[in-house]
Structure 1
Amino acid sequence: MHPCSAFRSAALRPPVAAMAPVALAVLVLSQSVALAQQAPAAEPEAASLPTVVVTGSRSERDPAEVPVVIDVLGAQALDPAGVQDIRDLVQTLPNVSVKRAPTRFGAAVGSTGRDGNAGFNIRGLEGNRVLLTVDGVRMPRELTSGVFGSAAFGRDYFELGHISRVEIQRGAGSALYGSDGLAGHVAMFTAEPRDLVKPGQTTLTRLSLQADTEDDGRRAGLMVAGTPNERHQYLASLHYGVAGALDNQGRNTSASSARTAPNPQDDRSLGALLKWIATPGGGQKHSFTAEHIDKRSEVEVYSGRGAANGFLTTDLDGTTDLRRSRLGWDGRFRTDAPWADELRATVALQDAESRELALEQRRSLAGGPVTGRSRDVTYEERLLQTTLQAEKSLSSPAGGWAQRLVYGVDLVRSELDNLVTGTVPPVYERYPLKRFPETTENTVGAFVQNEFQTERWTVVPALRYDHVRLDAEDDALYPKQPADLSASALSPKLGAIYRANEHWALFGNLAAGFRAPSALQLNNYFDNPLGYYQSIPNPDLKPEKSRTLELGVRGQGDGVQWEASAFTGRYKDFIEELVRVNGTGVPGDPIQYQAVNRGKVSLSGVELKGRWQLAAATALRLALGRTQGKDTSTGRPLNSVNPAELHAALEQKLGAWTVGLGLTHVAAKKAKDVDFSATPAQFVPKAYTTLDLKTSWQLSQTTRLSAAVRNLTDRTYWQWTNVRGVAATSPVLDAYTAPGRSVSVALVTEF
């Protein structure tokens, strides 16, 4: 464990270091019990349960009864042949993307992709402006900044093998979930035992094997679920994978900075999940969850070899370690009291640590021996999250309004720290040091939502109050006087649905969002006394805020389901990092940089999605999305907005086979939609169209073989999200191309 000893907090460190062997033992024991019980042969699979969503209302709802756009990704969308990671997860969702730039960096500078699958972009906003949760628990935040050199920490703390459902809510969600719900909410839910065990069985074992040529990945998963009696359920899941670098269309394989082929890379991932559910009676349900994610990546950076700044780099290696451990309890109590029908209480402890190490060998161009230097950066985030939530349904007279009330409180405490160390630091610095001091963030939120409903109308007002406080500690490794922050936010929401008839309905949603500044934005520190510039804290930093409006219509009938929406949003007090605020850059008057509330952004767009059952065994799916955005304070376009996308998929069932052909068309990024101020020669990719082929073969009642061919025509193209900041004159432009033709296969069997 990396030595950030001052930050260690035993009360917040879940004892899950040995979770992998425990999970394996449970799997073996459970399988032995299943064999001893001689369970009867599997019966035909039960009818699918109705789709429900939670993110739009904090309680289960039919998606048609929620006045916002939510994408629900279930078993078919999570097929392991087509979905290996979060980048694959959203590839066919317009206005949603995941950045994955190539891994090219230097030991101290040049961060262009060390964050891997960095995180989600929803309708042009990304990073910590999108709330990420697993089973309702907040995921660690992104940490990127020029002051960390080549280090960049993304948000890919997930093992999709554990996930049974993903909900992606578009638009502000702070009225129910508080900070970070500025742009949207990606909520993942781990598998439940009763979702897996079939009628007539008490245990189920699921084995999955995957292979993918896109990154030479091989993955295996084993999941055991059991319901030994009506009062107890259990689930244990263990997934392990190895992979290489993500492929591209670059052909230069030299061990130099001219290389455009991927750098050699060795990735390994381990995910373990344990879950026990007890229903002792009296309307009680207690769920206990332990989860551990461990991802490691080693890169031989051939592209980092070469001459620069008077030195010749002869070898460069990078290692990234990402770990997350979670313990949680979710208790539900049937009260049938005047103030609540059901009470829910949750407690979660989470410990996350990311570390990036760069090792470099170099020698002076003027002569001399080969010397080494290293840079080692660690980011830690520990979380204690508690929630108390009540629900109450109120009946109404005939023809009146029925009500469903949800209210409660959230308490979140996060401890955040970082450490930069290594050998041969810049002449103006001394290792170890910190870019921001150890910081404790406390958030208290109280929310209430009252849903009124008649046969024709649903009206959903909601209101939330949050108070956020960041307390920074004095630290010997942080020479500045740290700033603290205390801020409050009131986030209202008003949603409505009008059901014209049983076939179609109108919906609208007006909502507020906010995001509190991060510890790094509040106290970013860097000082170069030889270059006469520095970054300084900003005690006057304020939370970012948003107001979004969405109007839409959805309908179904005659084999057609469809939904169309238009949205617009206004965002103010955007936080821009490392803005020049003072100084002339001479001795005694250094240039000073700060994170400041400067930007005002507007975003608007449209989305359309639908499914048409052409025949009993034939279905057509369509999805279209387009967003436009600009910084209204400068009049410049917002570069985080992706071009318009169209997705179409035709699916045909042929007995035990299912075959699907998918088309993706991405429009060209127009020059008028690009801000060239940071990169005047910014590369602007052209439009492209790709084809994907998917097939699934139900070998038996319990075994399925599936395969996917991506980019069937081997098209060379660039995704805008991965080339932002890359000049059209770059000699290594091909290094940023998307993968060519690739094949993935998966075998899933249950017994």
Structure 2
Amino acid sequence: MKHRFPELCSIRRSSGRLIPLVLMITMINNANAQDKPDEPRKVLNKVTVEAAAIQSTTENTQVTSSEDIEDNQVRNLDDLVRYIPGVAVDDIGRFGSNGFNIRGMDGDRVAITVDGLSLGETLNPASYAPYEFFSSGRGGVDIDAMKAVEIVKGADSISAGSGALGGAVMFVTKDPADYLNPSGNDTHFGLKFGYSSANDEALATATLANRTGNWESLLVYTAREGHETESFFSGSRPDISGTAREIPDPVDYDNDNVLFKLYYRPADGHRLGFVAEKYNSNIELDNQTRLNDSYLMRTTDDKTERERYGVNYLWQADNALFDELDWRYDYQTAYTLGHTLMVVPTGCPAGANSPAVAPCNRTEHRDYDQEIHKTVLHLDKTIANHTLGYGVSIEEKSVTYADVKTRYVGTTSEVGVGWPQLGGDFVPDTDVGSYGIYVRDQISLVDNRLLVNTGVRFDHYKYSPSLNNSQFNDNSGTVNDVTFSSPTWQLGASWNLTAQHILWVQTGSGFRAPTVENMYFSPSTAIATEVSSGQQVDLWNTVSNPDLEAEESRNIEIGYRWHGNSHVFGISTYRNDYSNFIDYNTFIRNADVEYQTCNTAGTVCNNFFGDEYDSLDNIGEVTVKGIEVEGLWAITEQVRLRFAYAWSEGEEKDGTPLQSIVPASGIIGLGYDAPNGRWAVETNVVFADGKDKKDATAVDPVNFTQIPEDYFTDYGDYTLVDLQARYNITQNLKLNVGVYNLFDEEYIRWQRIRFVNQGSAAGGARGGVSEDGIHRYTEPGRNYRLTLAYTF
């Protein structure tokens, strides 16, 4: 649906991905479409999207609609946040995205939900990550199935639960009503085809919606296939192997996604629904950058699958307890597979009737399966000047990990003697039960000029690991059942100083429950002799910590908005304090006891006092602060100018800069809509600072990535120009075209280079970088996108 701004010269709504201020004004003017330009209007502070999963009451949120997704030809998560300063997507190499980065928090510290259902948790142990054999992220989302995405900047655990430590990204899937007339029988059918030159991606989406009597249905199917995303040097550098390679490794991928919804309305105010989603992704990689004396060939075949089935019931009752009741039950499985095939020159097994043959094939097959059952009951009630939202959620989650290693006779498919073998599990099979209770209240005071937001939430977790699996060993005896609880709260207020000026402030807390990896990642022990007794004992190397607490955040943010008949402007500043960060710490037990260890032959022995070991602990403290500015100016009835800028800095308690902070960035956009509404054109200038070397260097370099020096000297700052155009060929046929990086800028984004090590060792992070190898992390030069959509 297209919105109009009578008080902004009737221009078409600017893209919602940039400024919630614009969305606010959109809703104001839609509600007062008949008002004269100089007539006073009621000021609203928060845009509400009709979707039960979008519930945040924080001031600094960003809503992106399906129209924005279509107009900007968004293909993936990177595209979704391309024009949102202060928000990025982290790139971890072979396994793609590690989730979103919001104001310097990333990974599991940013919640991701689809219709209120979490996408699960990551499994990527730091000691294994550099070798890129396996990583389980939180994928399984196709953007074409979404009608809205809300990005919450800052903690808001009341809306998103665990993980909303630094923010949240909440996806809402499409509904039949998004395509149908408000009432009566109706049918919609749409086809969309698209192409992107940066990775040769071809896509096709088919959408079918129908209402017949009291029944509504929706089917959305999307298929994508493509290759690796080009670097700036693709096509102009040789196709060599090793760490000096300047172009990306070859990739072939294909994804498909199905969304199905069915609603039945037995009576006014009642709706019963069913939803099913299935996402599949297959990625094959020729890992040329890893080839060296150890790997003569290395290819991968990775899969990501997500399935969800749910039922829901909506009751608009307007009784003493609630005006609206929303009950949901969802079942979801998220499966990740990393399969690696290598040709190695040594370590080759013998066949059943033959000696060892070198070189030989070797495979690593690792997978992680997460199964979730979740029930949510949410109620809304308006009483006088109070708008209440309250509810309860109950979730049961189980996780399973498997590791199968196989070696072959030569480069044949014959399995060697003694293979395959089961590797040690990263984590035990674990059940996690949790529940959350929350209440939120919006209070309107002083003739609606003061709006106060309050909320509290309480969450309880119980971890139950199973030690019956022989592939997970716990000689330390530290793995056991664990329970913990976490309360969170929120308080905010906005004051309409005048009809055009608003001052707002908010403060609150967030939390992140430990993941199964945090709680139980593979304890390790070593055998030693206790000198005084001569007995052999198990010494701890790394062990679990049953006393871990949830990571916590406290944030405060102050903002100001000014809007007139043709402009809107906002500025905010924030400070976020994070505590109980989970990281490894070194401990010692039995400090007065003397131990002895010897080599296998018993010829060299070492005596020492105390058992020194590593264990995860709540030791980290981080502070992040920043400023964000955004605005819109309707220059004429058809021309609009918009801008946004974000700057932040963060450091740990000892002064070590937070590497995950994304450098300052901004955007300036200029758009034109034809008077007849048939076509539009828009240009966006995206600019970003480079990461200062001092902000990427640790006080203690242990566990810090040694970024290639070339990044700091050659690839820091950049300015890009994107040009987009839309044309309605007919009422039913729409063409979108875009040219991105119009002036062919050579640049590298910090979030791509952050995990890359300097050095020629292919075993290092992401294969290491030597000579001009950093060039493979440059972004594509000038590239194009095209989509053609037909509806009837």
Shorter-chain TM band: 0.7 to 0.9
- Equivalent position to 2:209, from 217, 225, 229: 225
Write the letter of the residue equivalent to 2:690. Answer: A
Map Cα deviations across residues 697-731 of structure 1 (whole Å, 9 max, x no partner).
Answer: 11111211111111111111111111114356632
Match of 1:305 in 2: 291
Work out the CA distance in 1 between the residues paired with 2:512 and 2:96: 24
After superposition, the Cα gap between the structure-2 partners of 1:81 and 1:681, relative to the gap in structure 1 and judged at 3 Å, is closer
- Equivalent position to 2:393, from 410, 431, 438: 410
Work out the CA distance in 2 between the residues paired with 1:747 and 1:468: 48
Structure 1 residues without counterparts, runs of 5 or longer: 1-46, 102-112, 396-401
After superposition, the Cα gap between the structure-2 partners of 1:625 and 1:558, relative to the gap in structure 1 and judged at 3 Å, is same
Within 5 Å, which residues of 2 pair with 1:488-567?
488-525=485-522, 527=524, 534-567=541-574
Note the C-alpha offset of 1:485.
2.0
Q: Does the 8 A contact of 1:67 with 1:497 survive in 2? A: no
Work out the CA distance in 2 between the residues paired with 1:586 and 1:159: 54
Deviates more, 1:448-457 or 1:316-325: 448-457
Match of 2:105 in 1: 125
Match of 1:572 in 2: 579
After superposition, the Cα gap between the structure-2 partners of 1:502 and 1:345, relative to the gap in structure 1 and judged at 3 Å, is same
Q: Does the 8 A contact of 1:53 with 1:60 survive in 2? A: no
- Equivalent position to 1:699, from 729, 737, 751: 729
Work out the CA distance in 2 between the residues paired with 1:132 and 1:544: 17
Q: Does the 8 A contact of 1:585 with 1:591 survive in 2? A: no
- Equivalent position to 1:653, from 667, 673, 678: 673
Match of 1:741 in 2: 782
Q: Does the 8 A contact of 2:441 with 2:455 survive in 1? A: yes
Write the letter of the residue equivalent to 1:124. Answer: G
Give identity over the alignment, percent. 24
Whether 2:694 is the aligned partner of 1:672: answer: yes
Note the C-alpha offset of 1:737.
1.3
Whether 2:310 is the aligned partner of 1:328: answer: yes
Note the C-alpha offset of 1:193.
1.3
Deviates more, 1:680-689 or 1:700-709: 680-689
Map Cα deviations across residues 108-141 of structure 1 (whole Å, 9 max, x no partner).
Answer: xxxxx12212210000000111111111111122
Note the C-alpha offset of 1:201.
6.8
After superposition, the Cα gap between the structure-2 partners of 1:201 and 1:704, relative to the gap in structure 1 and judged at 3 Å, is farther
SS of 1:714's equivalent?
coil
SS of 1:393's equivalent?
strand
Match of 1:19 in 2: none
Work out the CA distance in 2 between the residues paired with 1:53 and 1:473: 46
SS of 2:345's equivalent?
strand
After superposition, the Cα gap between the structure-2 partners of 1:59 and 1:271, relative to the gap in structure 1 and judged at 3 Å, is closer
Work out the CA distance in 2 between the residues paired with 1:551 and 1:689: 29
Whether 2:361 is the aligned partner of 1:361: answer: no
Match of 2:80 in 1: 89
Q: Does the 8 A contact of 1:80 with 1:746 survive in 2? A: no
Match of 1:375 in 2: 364
Match of 1:641 in 2: 661
Map Cα deviations across residues 290-349 of structure 1 (whole Å, 9 max, x no partner).
Answer: 010001100111222211xxx3x2211111100000011221113332222222211111
Structure 2 residues without counterparts, runs of 5 or longer: 1-27, 32-43, 349-355, 409-417, 529-538, 590-594, 599-605, 760-768
Write the letter of the residue equivalent to 2:671. Answer: E
Match of 2:464 in 1: 471
Q: Does the 8 A contact of 2:372 with 2:396 survive in 1? A: yes
Whether 2:629 is the aligned partner of 1:608: answer: yes
Within 5 Å, which residues of 2 pair with 1:5-20?
none
Within 5 Å, which residues of 2 pair with 1:726-737?
726-727=756-757, 730-731=769-770, 732-737=773-778
Structure whose alpha-carbon radius of gyration is higher: 2
Match of 2:424 in 1: 433
Work out the CA distance in 2 between the residues paired with 1:216 and 1:118: 23
Question: What is the aligned-residue RMSD (CA, Å)?
Answer: 2.8
Equivalent pairs, count: 676
Write the letter of the residue equivalent to 2:274. Answer: F
Work out the CA distance in 2 between the residues paired with 1:161 and 1:75: 8
Match of 1:146 in 2: 126
Note the C-alpha offset of 1:181.
1.2
Q: Does the 8 A contact of 1:692 with 1:712 survive in 2? A: yes
Match of 2:452 in 1: 459
Work out the CA distance in 2 between the residues paired with 1:301 and 1:728: 18
- Equivalent position to 2:65, from 58, 71, 74: 74
Q: Does the 8 A contact of 1:559 with 1:612 survive in 2? A: yes
Write the letter of the residue equivalent to 1:209. Answer: F
Q: Does the 8 A contact of 2:54 with 2:170 survive in 1? A: no
Note the C-alpha offset of 1:142.
2.1
Note the C-alpha offset of 1:442.
1.2
SS of 2:158's equivalent?
helix
SS of 1:435's equivalent?
coil
Q: Does the 8 A contact of 2:207 with 2:219 survive in 1? A: yes
- Equivalent position to 2:649, from 620, 624, 628: 628
SS of 2:314's equivalent?
strand
SS of 2:296's equivalent?
strand
Map Cα deviations across residues 382-417 of structure 1 (whole Å, 9 max, x no partner).
Answer: 11111112221112xxxxxx1111111111111112
After superposition, the Cα gap between the structure-2 partners of 1:80 and 1:453, relative to the gap in structure 1 and judged at 3 Å, is closer
Work out the CA distance in 2 between the residues paired with 1:582 and 1:317: 42
Match of 1:234 in 2: 217
Match of 1:5 in 2: none
Within 5 Å, which residues of 2 pair with 1:259-274?
259-274=245-260
Note the C-alpha offset of 1:515.
0.7
After superposition, the Cα gap between the structure-2 partners of 1:492 and 1:688, relative to the gap in structure 1 and judged at 3 Å, is same
Q: Does the 8 A contact of 2:249 with 2:288 survive in 1? A: yes
Note the C-alpha offset of 1:575.
0.8
Work out the CA distance in 2 between the residues paired with 1:692 and 1:81: 10
Work out the CA distance in 1 between the residues paired with 2:312 and 2:569: 35
**What's the TM-score, normalizing by structure 2?**
0.81
Q: Does the 8 A contact of 1:301 with 1:316 survive in 2? A: yes
After superposition, the Cα gap between the structure-2 partners of 1:430 and 1:369, relative to the gap in structure 1 and judged at 3 Å, is closer
Match of 2:765 in 1: none
SS of 2:91's equivalent?
coil
After superposition, the Cα gap between the structure-2 partners of 1:526 and 1:362, relative to the gap in structure 1 and judged at 3 Å, is farther
Deviates more, 1:379-388 or 1:415-424: 415-424
After superposition, the Cα gap between the structure-2 partners of 1:350 and 1:727, relative to the gap in structure 1 and judged at 3 Å, is closer
Q: Does the 8 A contact of 1:55 with 1:185 survive in 2? A: no
Work out the CA distance in 2 between the residues paired with 1:78 and 1:489: 36
Note the C-alpha offset of 1:80.
6.6
Work out the CA distance in 1 between the residues paired with 2:747 and 2:525: 40
Match of 2:296 in 1: 314
Note the C-alpha offset of 1:285.
1.6
After superposition, the Cα gap between the structure-2 partners of 1:192 and 1:75, relative to the gap in structure 1 and judged at 3 Å, is same
SS of 2:66's equivalent?
coil
Whether 2:90 is the aligned partner of 1:99: answer: yes
Whether 2:160 is the aligned partner of 1:177: answer: yes
Note the C-alpha offset of 1:60.
7.0
Match of 1:278 in 2: 264
Q: Does the 8 A contact of 2:54 with 2:150 survive in 1? A: no
Note the C-alpha offset of 1:146.
3.4
Write the letter of the residue equivalent to 2:398. Answer: E
- Equivalent position to 2:199, from 215, 218, 227: 215
**What's the TM-score, normalizing by structure 1?**
0.85
Match of 1:15 in 2: none
Write the letter of the residue equivalent to 2:471. Answer: L
Q: Does the 8 A contact of 2:53 with 2:115 survive in 1? A: no
- Equivalent position to 1:389, from 366, 372, 378: 378
After superposition, the Cα gap between the structure-2 partners of 1:567 and 1:441, relative to the gap in structure 1 and judged at 3 Å, is same
Deviates more, 1:583-592 or 1:704-713: 583-592
